Chains A and B, each alone.
Chain A
Amino acid sequence: MTLVPQAIILGILTGGVYALMASGLTLIFGVMQIINVGHGALVILGAYLSFALLRSLHIDPFLSLVVTMPAMFVLGVVMQVVFVRPLKGDREALSVLVTYALALGIEGLLGFFFTNNYQQLNAWYETASIRLFNFRIAYVYIFGFALCLAILGGIFWMLYRTTFGRAIRATMLNRTAAQLVGVDVDRVSALAFGVGVASAAAGGVVFGITNVFNPGSHYDLISRLLTIIVLGGLGSLRGAIVGAMVMLVTTDVTAVVISPVWSSFVFFVILVCVLVVRPQGLYGVTVRDRA
């Protein structure tokens, strides 16, 4: 039964990566009440940007984040200002259409520039491993988890220790009230969108090292990320982290104990049970309509 502890550890480490990817998605929902179904495509875009830097300038994928995260932050701000801010009325429904269109656009551009062949980010730590008890863990999972802790820690610090973070939390709590007390919610929304997209770049690097990917990889990815934030609670950063851990540990343990075929089923049984008891998810809150 050594497979079970292995599956739990791998689930937690991989869950950290998914938490990183889902954190941007839930942050964007929390601030703007929009469902960014293009988030998976942004993760893949982040992976491709690091791939381009690796291929052309031989920059280590993790090191490339120094370039790609700021670039993706700017891209996120521009996307929010140009495509999301103009949405009025039923923002949740309209945002699905707009961000899906953005995802298709990103997929098309990536296919044009990089072809639709599968790619992977290569680095020494993707196959090098360290012994832990009677099995080995690849360094990439450890580095990825450390990156997740660092970035999520940074986001928590920003939210709870800075004036900007207070403005974000105020906007998440009640957009109208935040405006009334002087918060520039348009500016906060744009910057929060940028932070969410920048975190997608970080998630994309680890995803790109541990998985082969092509421009169409975002379809599977966004399905998983949306499920994670629904389980954790829409708009809850803490929920995204716990939701990712639950999903990855559940599916990995089910794969080794029962069968991989049952992995998704078991996870969705857990999801449905949670939603029956707590429709708002594990850490979601039910609040008065903010409109």
Chain B
Amino acid sequence: MRRPVLTTVTSILTVSALGLTACGSTGGGKGATAQAGTPITIGVSVSLTGDFSGDGKALVQGYDLWAQDENAKGGLLGHKVTMKYVDDASSTQQVVTNYQNLITQDKVALVFGPFSSLLTIPASTVTNRFGYAFPEPAGGGPSVFTRGINSLFFVQPAAVEDNLVSFTQWVLSLPASQRPATAAYATEDDPFTQPQVDRARALLEAAGVKTLSYKVYPAEATDWTPLAQQVISANADVVILGTQEPDGVAFIKAFQQQQYNPKALIETAGPDQGADFSGKVGVANTAGVMVPAGWYASAKTSGNAKFVTEFTAKYGGAPGDISGDAAEAYSVGQVVDQAATKANSIANSALITALHNGTYQTVQGPMAFDATGKPNGATFLVQWQNGTPVPVYPAAAAIAQPLYPKPNFGS
């Protein structure tokens, strides 16, 4: 009998292709129509494993801190709040299962959103089907708002595709003699990153900034060095990268290896991770790196000082170490608290109606939502200076002048 080589090969390839995803767990919870004064459970699918696990942990910190504050002041309209988290392993399939279980089995009173547009899109289809309000902190890609769903609310100052607008405005505000003439772009094919980069590219090209390189790479890529080589070989004045944390770090290291120093460098995510980012690339290599942000630690926004103080007391570290994800998650709670007060109800239908009307104060600043749940504000530009991320543009939010050209890596 011949050895079944093909069978073995096929089984291995099948295992390989399946990707082997892990599952989360579920437990008990409260019904969706809580009696006055009774405790309620808020369900969230978070990425505790997989590609978004770093961001998922930050979301949990922000949500937990909000719940702690909410309970300290008597609860959400008098209902003590318990957060229930289930791991989605950064999987678009698992996140759907998680919200179905949270709503139908655990019967949670409310749901908050997961991390990323990638997960928010399938999750919001489920929550909308069950009539749940879906305030979410991190799903702001254009495709999130084009599916006729009116129960979703993106709790950040601006829609994702507008995140790099402040950067382009700053670039174009430079004196003509200093203004960059060329740009290179590389982005993940992710609904969070690519729309930002494409919009920035359109704005800069319209203003005469020539595109020397534009590359899209799969979100599951793990070897970014050839991509970095392409960006480097373009030798553009400005480099705009649509990254998450792992590729954001990898690009900067590849630039260091090749001793490449563009005049300006911005990444859509990665540099917003505080000490987690500077620890990986080295503090000396952070100088001048930019990232769009809707929040910073010293912002004079509603409840921000309290948030920062409590966060550092609860989790340790310095204010500059706080991830923007945590602030965004905390903001979700703030918005829901104000909407519940306004509607005098925690019923999901009442919350949806309330959230479509009025302006809500958060640690990220005031925000209001249009019919699709898209916020109507703007982000600002943050740049790492002296080992700390500081807002540098627009002038109204800036606490320091932008460093331009960017200091060389290691300087």
Contacts and interface: CB of A to CB of B under 8 A. Distances in A.
Interface of A: 2-3, 6-7, 10, 14, 35, 37, 92-93, 96, 100, 103-104, 107, 111, 115-120, 122, 126-129, 135-138, 211-212, 214-216, 219-224, 226-227, 229-230, 234, 248, 251-252, 255-256, 259-261, 263-264, 275, 279-281, 284, 286-290
Interface string B254-280: 001111000000000000000010001
A144 to B, nearest CB: 12
B22 A288 contact: no
Interface residues of B, number: 56
B246 A211 contact: yes
A256 B229 contact: yes
A212 B250 contact: yes
A273 B160 CA distance: 42
Interface string B349-392: 00000000000000000000000000000000000000000000
Contact of B13 (A3, A226, A252): A226
Interface in B202-245: 215-218, 220-223, 225-227, 229-230, 233, 245
Nearest to B244: A118
B220 to A, nearest CB: 7
Contacts of B5: 234, 279-280, 284, 286
Given A7-B226, A118-B245, A216 B53 contact: yes
Given A120-B249, A211-B246, A256 B226 contact: yes
Most A Cβ at <10 Å: residue of B6, B226, B245, B253: B226
Interface of B: 1-3, 5-6, 8-9, 11-13, 15-17, 19-22, 48-51, 53-54, 56-57, 89-90, 189, 215-218, 220-223, 225-227, 229-230, 233, 245-246, 249-250, 253, 256-259, 276, 280, 282, 285, 409
Most B Cβ at <10 Å: residue of A116, A256, A275, A286: A116
B49 A226 contact: no
Contact of A35 (B12, B56, B221): B12
Nearest to A226: B16
A107 B49 contact: yes
A211 B409 CA distance: 19
B19 A3 contact: no
A228 B56 CA distance: 32
A203 to B, nearest CB: 14
A51 to B, nearest CB: 12
A211 to B, nearest CB: 6
B293 to A, nearest CB: 19
14 contacts: A2-B233, A35-B8, A107-B22, A107-B49, A115-B57, A118-B53, A128-B257, A212-B245, A212-B280, A255-B227, A256-B226, A261-B189, A261-B216, A286-B3
Nearest to A223: B16
A37 B19 CA distance: 11
A260 B226 contact: yes
Contacts of A35: 8, 11-12, 15
Contacts of B250: 211-212
A102 to B, nearest CB: 12
